[in-house]
Structure 1
C-alpha cells in the first residue's frame, strides 16, 4: 500500500478500508497544526496508478482463500468492504473530476462498497458547483469529516483557518441539498484563555443551523514547532487551562439543539466519552462534571504535556 508519513482517520472510520488519495494539506496554514510538518511538500495528490494498485492489493486480501478459510474455521465475521476512507488532510480538495475517477475505480474493484468518505475543508466544498456535489453524492461520497474547529469568527481569523462561521452554514446547506452527510470536529480551547465559553456559544449557534450526524470534540494541544506556540511566546495568545476547556465543552453540550451524536474519542482527550444529543445530554454533562472534580487540573495537564504526537 502507498502511505506517506503518519495516516490519520476519525475513530468512526476504524472499519473502513483506508486508501491514500492525497498527502499533506492544501491550506497548511492553521497556526495550531503540526500534523504535516514533517512532509517535504505542502500538498500532493496520489497518482491514480498508486490508488488503483492499492485497491487491487486490498481486493486481493479481501478475496484471499486462506483468509476465507480462517473465517470459516474460527467462525469470525466475514470481511467485506462496504466503506472506503480516502486518507489525507483534505482529499475533498481534489477537483470533482479526480474524485469521480477515484470513485469509478473504487466501484470497479469493490462493487459492494456503499460509500466513500474523507476529510474536507469548508473551502473544498465551496469550490465545487451544486451539480458537482450532486454528482459526487451519486458516486458514493458521503459522511465527510469537516474540521470546522469553532464557530467563533475571531478565533477562526486568528488561527488562519481561511473561512468564517457564515461559510460553515452556507456550505453545509449545500452538502445537505446534495445529499452528502457530514460530521464536525470542534477544537476545544481554540479561542484561548478566557474565551472558551463564548467560542462554545458561537459554535452551538452555527451547529444548530446545520445538520451534522456527529459532533466530535478534541482538545487543543500546542506543540513547540507550531506557529501558535510562537504566538504564545510573543505574548499574543494564552492557552486555556484544562479545567477551563472542560467547562467550554459543558457550555457547548448544553447549547446544542441539533440532534446528533456527541463524542470525545480522539487521542487528545484524557477521558473518552460518547452519547446522543439531546437524549443523553444530562449523562454527558454529569460525566464532564466528574472529569473536572475527580481528575482535576493537575492530572489533566499532565496528560496534555505527555502527548508527544497526536
Structure 2
C-alpha cells in the first residue's frame, strides 16, 4: 500500500506444509513514511514519521496424534519521532507558568535543535510442547523476551534556541532494557473424563534497567545572574543543570495452582481450586544532579522492600485459578 508522504506499507503471510507432520508459517509487516510534522531547524529532524518492521515465524511439528511441538520467533523494530507542539515563548522560570504555553497556531511546524529518536527493539522466542497420555494431557510452555528502548527528545521546542538571547537547550533521554524468562507446566484431564481437573506450575523472572537523563542550559532573563559565574568557571553562559536517574529492578514470580470441576447435571457444575503465589521484587535507584557543571554527591541508593506473597492477594483469591500465562496458539 502506498500513499502521501512517501508512505509504503507491505504485509505478507506464507504458509508452507513441508511434510504431513511439519508446517511453517511466516508473516512480516514493514511500514515507512515521511513525517507529518516539519522541523524548520536544520539541526533537528522531522516528527511523526514511521519506520517500523515486524516479523514472526512459526514451526509446527506433529509426528503423532499425541505429541506436538510449536516454536515461535517474533522480532519488532520501531523507528519514529513522536509529534510535539511548539511553545509560544521561550521557557523561563520568571514567565507565567514557567513559559509552558503551547502554540496551537501551526501543529504541522516545529523548531527543534536536537536530533530526536524513539527506538524500540524486541525479540520474543517461545516453545510449546503438548503430550497426550492415557490419563492426562501435558502442556509445557517456555518464553524468552528481550526489549531495548531508547528515547531522546527536545524538551524546550521553542523558536529561540541556544545560544540565541532567551534561548534554551533542554533535552530528555531515557533508556530502558528488559530480559524476561517465563515457563509454565500444566497437567489437565482428558476431554472425556467425568471430572475436569487441572494442576500446574508457573515461573517468571525479569531483569529491568532504566536511565533518565535531563540536560538543561538556559540563557533566559531569569538566569542572567549566573552568567558571571559561568564566565569564571569557564562554562557556557547561562545556567546549566543536569539530572540523572538510574534504576534496576529484578522481579521473580512463581505459582502452584489447581482446580477441579464436577458436572452435577447438564446445567449445574461445581468448581473448586487453590493457588499459591510467591512474588518478590528487588529494586535499586539513584539520582545525581549537576549545577554549573559541578556534580553533587550522589543520592543514597534506594532499595525497594522485598515483596513476599502480597501482590494482588485479594484478587488472587477471586480468580478462577486458570493458567498464569498464555503465549498463543499456532
TM-score (norm 2): 0.27
The higher relative CO (CA closer than 8 Å, separation ≥ 6) is in 1
Higher percent of residues as helix: 1
1 or 2, which has the higher strand percentage? 2
Rg (Cα) greater in structure? 2
